[in-house]
Amino acid sequence: MNHHVATCRAELVAVLTTLQSGTPEILTVQNGACLPAGALETEHSSLQRGVRHWVEELTGFRLGHVEQLYTFGDSVPAETERLVRISYMALTRDSGDQAGWRGWYQYFPWEDRRTEGSVALLKTIERALLEWAAHEEEKLDRCRVTFGLNGESWNDEAVLERYELLWEAGLVQESPYCSAGLGERPMLWDHRRILATAMSRLRAKIRYTPVVFELVPEEFTLLQLQQAMEALSGRLMHKQNFRRLVQNQDLVSETDRYESGVQGRPARLYRFRTDNSENCYLTGAKLPLGTFS
Amino acid sequence: MNHHVATCRAELVAVLTTLQSGTPEILTVQNGACLPAGALETEHSSLQRGVRHWVEELTGFRLGHVEQLYTFGDSVPAETERLVRISYMALTRDSGDQAGWRGWYQYFPWEDRRTEGSVALLKTIERALLEWAAHEEEKLDRCRVTFGLNGESWNDEAVLERYELLWEAGLVQESPYCSAGLGERPMLWDHRRILATAMSRLRAKIRYTPVVFELVPEEFTLLQLQQAMEALSGRLMHKQNFRRLVQNQDLVSETDRYESGVQGRPARLYRFRTDNSENCYLTGAKLPLGTFS
DNA sequence: ATACATTATGCTCAATAGGAGCATAATGTT
DNA sequence: AACATTATGCTCCTATTGAGCATAATGTAT
């Protein structure tokens, strides 16, 4: 058998996330149907620069910190030229005046467990999954672990695993076997998979590096910081313990200013301690996110 | 300015790791100078299958579990065609009778902190680094944090960060400014960077998933398991506490057999509990690896 | 002005996890 | 029989963390 080196095009895909009034949002194009993407060009001196170029071209947005996610490269039988899709994650504090921002949880409503409504959705999913798994022991086990059913705990980082399980079960709209879906917004191609990968990665990352601080204002109250963590992880946490941990970590420093114009006792404003920030990214910051049922 | 879609070749690089008599080893080609690699071909139906194909072709080895690491794509000014290099990590229990296995710590001797000798090497590195950093505050800080100097703790997962720092300081042989090196074995191109990435990833992974069990025999003593963790992380740990933690995690089950032919009281053999192994990979296993000075 | 709602912040208590080391058990060697 | 050597069980102490009570400081309704 002869072997032929494949010539390919490399496509660069970006998941740019921001926090807008308590919801994580991503920058999309084509009315929310896909992520900004474009081909690697000879003019791009590196992959990262290619990503920056395309996001700026398509949305006018200049990226800050960028991180590689995953490279997909399955061959499509019909096509002659090979496509390698390299995905990136980026964060930004201010969403600017761009259009095209969409909430994470429009695409993954079951990932937001902060509201009462989420319980109902999870019940629906549970019923549908159990019906799909029928009485196959192995499938049932996967459902239990992945969705935290039956006393198993919910792992907020398993976004991709949950999406893939729902795909297999024909419960998401991209699935070829899907009839109705779960009221979520779908995406073209595998872009929702890529978004899931980005969510997983970010949820993992906020636990042990101080990346949250790239998403909140320069000065913030501890409640705002907590709510940012909650929005990203999709779960509520204990207020007093959160304060304690953040303060013990020496990650923030007090200012002498307070929040104004709200109900109740005004909250003190804090800022991220930039003097040891460089270090934290390496040595770890351990923001708390405990476990729950 | 005109833009041109770049045609590229995709190269697949594999870091295959095994444990051989208490040392992590990788499979190499060209007398240890590089990692097995090859171009993505039209016949490969997926990137993973391409990796498997090349490793088998070059070394006769069939891969088990494979995981993607990172994709490199910087353009080389001189070349017309673009090269995208996609790297993978794989593990295997038995090294077979292949040649080409080399110890991790030949390439990264400073990453092995189990022996007394490592202290001397670290002293040498510390002196050289401090000389390089001179009195620049920022550089000194990086050195302290990255190499755990001056009371900072050693982060065993920061293999790549340490390599890059040494590269900048001209202390590793790949560096253009390097005069002598540190007695390590170099590699061609950026293959030592890729190895560093794999080591970082594996060291991170053994903490919260039960991957170690893919590197030890089916039946093992708790000391063997501990020494496997120590070999991979490059640091020694407390024996009794290790036992306690492993047993409390419900990861292993006793057999009724014992080790034979060694000094001292014979140790009981254990095996990995496969009944909930699937779950552990998702819910986490938390093997201990504490911190040390 | 006073009572009350609301949010921030300080503090306690109990359970658990993790680091360090002592004590005992079971083998081989001299 | 004494001793070296390794395995295994157990205790003590400390740090971390989950849960909730108590107090402080503001705005709002009466």
Over residues B146-165, the pLDDT tens digits come to 999 988 889 999 999 999 99
Looking at the domain assignment, is residue B33 inside a domain?
Answer: yes
- What is the three-class DSSP state of A127? helix
pLDDT digits (tens, 9 = 90+) for A241-252: 999 999 998 889
Q: Does A265 touch chain B (CB under 8 A)?
A: no
Q: Does B78 touch chain A (CB under 8 A)?
A: no
Q: Work out the average pLDDT over B86-99.
A: 89
Q: Work out the average pLDDT over A104-117.
A: 94
Whether residue A232 contacts residue A252, with contact meaning beta carbons closer than 8 Å, is answered with no
The pLDDT assigned to B116 comes to 81
Q: Does A135 touch chain B (CB under 8 A)?
A: no
Q: Which residues form the domain of B21?
A: 8-104
Which band of pLDDT confidence, cut at 50, 70 and 90, is reported for residue A98?
A: confident
Which of A52-56, A135-139, A150-154, B223-227 has the highest average model confidence (pLDDT)?
Answer: B223-227
Where a domain ends, among B143, B168, B183? B183
Whether residue A14 contacts residue A55, with contact meaning beta carbons closer than 8 Å, is answered with yes
Where a domain ends, among B82, B104, B126? B104
The pLDDT assigned to A292 comes to 57
Instruction: Report the greatest alpha carbon distance in chain B.
Output: 76
Looking at the domain assignment, is residue B248 inside a domain?
Answer: yes
Q: Tokens standing for B285? A: 């296993």
Measured CA to CA, the distance from residue A270 to residue A247 in angstroms comes to 10
Per cent of chain A over pLDDT 70 is: 94
Query: Judging by beta carbons within 10 Å of its beta carbon (0-12, 13-18, 19+), is residue A180 exposed, middle or buried?
Result: exposed
Q: Using the predicted structure, report yes or no on whether residue B50 has a pLDDT greater than 90.
A: yes
Looking at the domain assignment, is residue B196 inside a domain?
Answer: no
Q: Using the predicted structure, report yes or no on whether residue B185 has a pLDDT greater than 90.
A: yes
Q: Tokens standing for B46? A: 């997926």
Yes or no, beta carbons of B40 and A283 under 8 Å apart:
no
The residues, ordered by sequence, that sit 6+ positions from A102 with a Cβ below 8 Å of its Cβ are A25, A26, A28, A32, A185
First to last CA, chain B: 55
Q: Work out the average pLDDT over A33-44.
A: 94
Same structural domain for residues B171 and B99?
A: no
Measured CA to CA, the distance from residue A14 to residue A68 in angstroms comes to 9
The pLDDT assigned to A4 comes to 84
For A142, the closest chain B residue by CA position comes to: B279
Measured CA to CA, the distance from residue A194 to residue A200 in angstroms comes to 10
The residues, ordered by sequence, that sit 6+ positions from B41 with a Cβ below 8 Å of its Cβ are A3, A4, A5, A6, B50, B53
User: Between residues B190 and A289, which one has the greater pLDDT?
Assistant: B190
Q: Using the predicted structure, report yes or no on whether residue A290 has a pLDDT greater than 70.
A: no
Q: Count CB neighbours of B241 within 10 A.
A: 12
Q: Work out the average pLDDT over A3-18.
A: 91
Measured CA to CA, the distance from residue A59 to residue A99 in angstroms comes to 8
Residues in chain B: 293
pLDDT digits (tens, 9 = 90+) for B97-111: 778 999 999 999 999
Distance A206 CA to C12 C1' (A): 29
Measured CA to CA, the distance from residue A24 to residue A41 in angstroms comes to 31
Q: Using the predicted structure, report yes or no on whether residue A277 has a pLDDT greater than 80.
A: no
The string over B125-159, giving b where at least 16 C-beta atoms fall within 10 Å of a residue's C-beta and e elsewhere, is: bbebbeebbeeeeebbbbbbbbbbbeebebbbbbb
Looking at the domain assignment, is residue B200 inside a domain?
Answer: no
Whether residue A286 contacts residue A207, with contact meaning beta carbons closer than 8 Å, is answered with yes
How does strand B23-27 pair with strand A219-220? unpaired
List bases in chain D with any atom under 7 Å of a protein Cβ. Answer: 4-11, 16-21, 24-28
Same structural domain for residues A87 and A121?
A: no
Same structural domain for residues A24 and A62?
A: yes
Which band of pLDDT confidence, cut at 50, 70 and 90, is reported for residue A266?
A: very high
Which band of pLDDT confidence, cut at 50, 70 and 90, is reported for residue B2?
A: low
Which band of pLDDT confidence, cut at 50, 70 and 90, is reported for residue A183?
A: very high
Q: Using the predicted structure, report yes or no on whether residue B32 has a pLDDT greater than 90.
A: yes
The pLDDT assigned to A287 comes to 77
Which band of pLDDT confidence, cut at 50, 70 and 90, is reported for residue A60?
A: confident
Task: List beta partners, residue A25.
Answer: A18, A103
The pLDDT assigned to A14 comes to 97
Q: Which residue has the tokens 């680094």?
A: B129
Same structural domain for residues B146 and B72?
A: no
Measured CA to CA, the distance from residue B231 to residue B240 in angstroms comes to 18
Q: Does B124 touch chain A (CB under 8 A)?
A: no
Same structural domain for residues A137 and A75?
A: no
Same structural domain for residues A146 and A93?
A: no
Identify the weakest region by mean pLDDT among A112-126, B70-84, B211-225, B236-250. B70-84
**Following DSSP, what letter does each residue of A177-243 receive, concatenated?**
T-SS--S----STTHHHHHHHHHHHHHHHHHHSGGGGGTS-SEE-HHHHHHHHHHHHTS---HHHHH
For B276, the closest chain A residue by CA position comes to: A141
Looking at the domain assignment, is residue B197 inside a domain?
Answer: no
- What are the two backbone dihedrals, phi and then psi, of residue B89, each rounded to the nearest 5 degrees? -120, 140
Same structural domain for residues A100 and A19?
A: yes
The pLDDT assigned to B267 comes to 97
Where a domain ends, among A132, A148, A183? A183
Q: Distance, in angstroms, between B20 CA and closest chain A CA?
A: 30
The pLDDT assigned to B226 comes to 95
| Chain B residues 138-177 with a CB less than 8 Å from chain A | 141-142, 145-146, 152-153, 155, 158, 161
Q: Work out the average pLDDT over B47-76.
A: 89
Q: Work out the average pLDDT over A83-94.
A: 94
Same structural domain for residues A70 and A119?
A: no
Looking at the domain assignment, is residue B278 inside a domain?
Answer: yes
Looking at the domain assignment, is residue A178 inside a domain?
Answer: yes
Radius of gyration of chain A (CA): 21
Q: Using the predicted structure, report yes or no on whether residue A291 has a pLDDT greater than 70.
A: no
Closest C-alpha to B84, from B8, B147, B162, B187: B8
Judging contacts by C-beta atoms under 8 Å, the chain B residues touching residue A283 are: 145, 152-153, 155
The pLDDT assigned to A185 comes to 97
Yes or no, beta carbons of B47 and A73 under 8 Å apart:
yes
The pLDDT assigned to B276 comes to 67
Q: Which residue has the tokens 């045609």?
A: B7
pLDDT digits (tens, 9 = 90+) for B234-266: 999 999 999 999 998 888 999 999 998 888 999
Q: Using the predicted structure, report yes or no on whether residue B292 has a pLDDT greater than 60.
A: no
Closest C-alpha to A28, from A100, A97, A88, A87: A100
The CATH number given to whatever domain includes residue A94 is: 3.90.79.10
Whether residue A146 contacts residue A138, with contact meaning beta carbons closer than 8 Å, is answered with no
Same structural domain for residues B235 and B267?
A: yes
Distance B73 CA to C24 C1' (A): 60
Whether residue A173 contacts residue A186, with contact meaning beta carbons closer than 8 Å, is answered with yes
Same structural domain for residues B27 and B91?
A: yes
* Average pLDDT taken over every residue of chain A: 91
Which band of pLDDT confidence, cut at 50, 70 and 90, is reported for residue B92?
A: very high
Same structural domain for residues B155 and B173?
A: yes
Task: List beta partners, residue B5.
Answer: A41
Per cent of chain B over pLDDT 90 is: 68
Describe the crossing of helices B137-147 and B117-133 by its angle, rounded to 10 degrees. 160
The pLDDT assigned to A208 comes to 87
* Average pLDDT taken over every residue of chain B: 91
First to last CA, chain A: 55
The pLDDT assigned to B279 comes to 65
Stretch (H or E) spanning B191: helix B191-208
How does strand B268-272 pair with strand B252-258? antiparallel
Distance A86 CA to C27 C1' (A): 58
For residue B59, give Cα distances in angstroms to A177, B56, B66, B76, B192: 41, 5, 16, 29, 19
The CATH number given to whatever domain includes residue A275 is: 1.10.10.10
Looking at the domain assignment, is residue A15 inside a domain?
Answer: yes
What total of structural domains would you count in chain B? 3
**Following DSSP, what letter does each residue of B238-250 receive, concatenated?**
-HHHHHHHHHHTT
Measured CA to CA, the distance from residue A221 to residue A217 in angstroms comes to 10
Q: Using the predicted structure, report yes or no on whether residue B168 has a pLDDT greater than 80.
A: yes
